[in-house]
Amino acid sequence: MTPPPPQTGPPLLEMRGITKRFPGVIANQDVDFDVRAGEVHTLLGENGAGKSTLMKILFGLYQPEEGEVLLRGEPIDITSPSEAIDARVGMVHQHFMLVPTMTVAENVALGIKSDRGPLTDLDAVSERIREISEAHGLAVDPDVEVWRLSVGERQRIEIVKALFRDAELLVLDEPTAVLTPQEVDDLFVILRRMTEEGRGIIFISHKLHEVMALSDRITVLRNGRVTGHTVPAETSRENLAEMMVGRAVKLSPHRPDVTPGAPRLKIRGLSVVGDRGTRAVDQVDLDVFGGEILGIAGVSGNGQRELAEVVAGLRKPEPGTSIELDGQAIDSASTRERRDLGLSYVPEERMRDGAIGDFTVSENIILVDHGSEKFSASGLLNFGAIKDHCNKLVEQFAVKTPSIETPTSSLSGGNIQKVIMARELSAGPAVLIASQPTRGVDIGSAEYIHERLVEQRDRGTATLLISEDLDEVLGLSDRIAVMFEGRVVAIVDHDDATREGIGLLMAGVFDEEPATT
């Protein structure tokens, strides 16, 4: 490979004094950011800090109100993605920009002038893709349709797309959010090889251990402003978290020792057909004891969602499934009956299944029990009682909202989740299913939600925690069940669980003794 160019002369990219406003928010305020050839410069910040906005400005998707962009020392005005591509800027977006119904080669070829005029030239494109994937260690098959591929493979295609256009500066917006630990390691090797070729990389993440592992330099954004620069050698995860949030945070909650009680949720032979018509969950047996959090680890799409939906009563299992809550069979009970028996559910799609955006905070809080005698009499709502109840919960769960009459959709993700948690925990559930409880939630709220989950466990609730955030599962769970292709392939005690061990199980390496890498 070519040696990295000497670090003299202008940086590859300089963004100076960038300001971008959206109605009601300043997404970027006077942001300075630069990248040198051959380095990984990380942009770290909470959800909503303005990272994607800054990168979309670089890529010509948004125009800044103020500030300038210099590429290789020259001022440049990028007004569309094609201009960015021409300037050799490549971007792997947070949400993949792929057409699932088209082949890998077609996806890569989109927007590129064909040598055959109006006709596509997919053979030549496939050939180049093979060359690129060989040169960079990116295994992809150009002829398969994208919908058949795993998330890890899709991400490699995104990188191939950028390399195909010979990007010299590559932006990766939260590329690891959906990868297994092993896939993350592989990705980092690929990225390192690219910097050795003299390309510059902007890495966006809020996963602190990854940021520490990969970055040459780190810039932290908070509420649209740069709040600090550092390098991994001079900082720590706690330190970075503090720069992101603006105050000290506990990264994993204290879990006092609790002796688990009797099994409160008992699942036997649970199988269910998923949306694709294939078996999404295959013969799962699980016991969740009172006073324990059972975490489910797994790459998304391995049956976790369907499992949660079956237990919650939103999806019909196959015959032969048995689910018991405190000894009562609930597998054919309605959601109402399940709730009455003490089941609570914090759904993964919080704005679809968990709350009604147009409803006020208080309406969402009483959504599941507005018919109970606490809140209504002969069909009429008792507004006084509702108000007292909601005000109490809003305070107790530290929901930041102007009032309980505010439409829920105008709250931040973290606060909406707190509203849902307040509703689901206020009943003191026997069994709690929490799906992705802190996804897209700010660190402060996540910290708070974690404390609440542990507190509920200490009170004897049996919690089934489903999360794609391995750190969350490792930090909260008493036991960890790993799901792979619809089956529970292992259950590991908290004290025996390691990132690497769980990561291998998630990737489907479990038959023989775990491979050592």
Partner 1 sequence: MSEFLTLTVIMATIASGIRLATPYLIAALGETVGQRSGVLNLGVDGVMQLSAFFAYWTVLETQNLILGVLAALAVGLIMGLIYAVVTVSFHATQGISGIGIFLFGLGFSDLMFQRQVGTPRPIKQLQEYGIPFLSDIPQVGPALFEHNLLTYAAFLMVPIVAWVMRSTTFGMNVRAVGENPQAADSLGVSVARTRYAAILIGNTMAAIAGAALVLQLGIFQPNLTQGLGFIAIALVYFGAWRPVGVMGGALLYGLVNATVLQWKAQGIIPRSASDIAAMAPAVLTIIALVVLAGRVRPPSALTRPFTRH
Contacts with Mg ion by CB under 5 A lie at 52, 94
What is residue 197's DSSP assignment? T
**64 belongs to the binding site for ligand ADP (CB under 6 A):** no
Burial code (b: 16+ CB inside 10 Å, e: under 16) for 220-245 equals: bbbebebbbebebeebeeeebbbbbb
Which residue sits closest to Mg ion, CB atoms considered? 52
What minimum distance in Å lies between the beta carbon of 204 and Mg ion?
7
What minimum distance in Å lies between the beta carbon of 98 and partner 1?
6
Residue 114 binds which entry of partner 1, Mg ion, ligand ADP, none, CB below 5-8 Å type-dependent: partner 1
Q: CB-wise, 221 or 323, nearer to Mg ion?
A: 221
Alpha-carbon span 231 to 355, nearest angstrom: 41
What minimum distance in Å lies between the beta carbon of 61 and partner 1?
6
Q: CB-wise, 45 or 342, nearer to ligand ADP?
A: 45
Which tokens is 194 given?
């690219």
Q: CB-wise, 56 or 266, nearer to Mg ion?
A: 56
What minimum distance in Å lies between the beta carbon of 266 and Mg ion?
40
Q: Do the Cβ atoms of 281 and 271 come closer than 8 Å?
A: yes
Which one-letter amino acid corresponds to residue 215? S
Q: Angle, to 10 degrees, between the axis of helix 443-458 and the axis of helix 413-426? A: 10
**Nearest CA among 92, 45, 7 for reference residue 225:** 45
**67 belongs to the binding site for ligand ADP (CB under 6 A):** no
In angstroms, how far apart are the furthest CA atoms of the chain? Answer: 79
Which of the ranges 3-11, 48-56, 143-151, 237-245 carries the binding residues for ligand ADP, by CB under 6 A? Answer: 48-56
**45 belongs to the binding site for ligand ADP (CB under 6 A):** yes
Q: CB-wise, 78 or 308, nearer to partner 1?
A: 78
Q: Angle, to 10 degrees, between the axis of helix 499-506 and the axis of helix 181-196? A: 100
Residue 383 binds which entry of Mg ion, ligand ADP, partner 1, none, CB below 5-8 Å type-dependent: none
Which tokens is 42 given?
């990380």
Q: CB-wise, 93 or 264, nearer to Mg ion?
A: 93
Residue 98 binds which entry of partner 1, Mg ion, ligand ADP, none, CB below 5-8 Å type-dependent: partner 1
What minimum distance in Å lies between the beta carbon of 284 and partner 1?
27
Query: Using CB under 8 A as the criterion, which residues of the chain lie in contact with partner 1 when the complex forms?
Result: 59, 61-62, 80-82, 85, 91, 93, 95-102, 106-107, 109-112, 114, 118-120, 161
Alpha-carbon span 317 to 275, nearest angstrom: 12
Which one-letter amino acid corresponds to residue 370? H
**486 belongs to the binding site for ligand ADP (CB under 6 A):** no
**Nearest CA among 183, 200, 204 for reference residue 192:** 200
Rounded to 10 degrees, what is the CA torsion of 106, 127, 172, 66?
-70
Q: Using CB under 6 A as the criterion, which residues of the chain lie in contact with ligand ADP when the complex forms? A: 22, 25, 27, 45, 47-53
